[in-house]
Structure 1
């Protein structure tokens, strides 16, 4: 099974806006999604009100993404947000 990770323009802007010491862990965790379906150790939850959207927890940040299955799994990175009471 092949996994493709695509970064939306907004997610790239969010990543660049993070402090430099936080950018590396976010990139590493997103790259770890490449090993799907063997993604043990990643804190991923399906969002209840959003169809097909998930969140990946990295420190105080949440990486929001969508996943489309099949022979080739496509993961679209949508946003990277600091965790607050209004993140979702």
Structure 2
């Protein structure tokens, strides 16, 4: 192998390793990367009113089966009561 080919092989290996080092954390810890970036898919929550966010959380908990229908309706009534 010539010196030029050895250098090219070394550069290719270095670039490949650098790419692997840059990409591996995202592949291995994809969830952590998204959390570190602030949850890209969820968007800006500051635009959602507090009562809208509370309703969304209540709906999600009901959908996951964490609340019975009775609990869901009771909490929904509580949210809708004037303060």
Normalising by structure 1, what TM-score? 0.27
Higher CA-based Rg = 2
**Larger RCO: 1 or 2 (CA < 8 Å, sep 6+):** 1
Greater helix content:
2
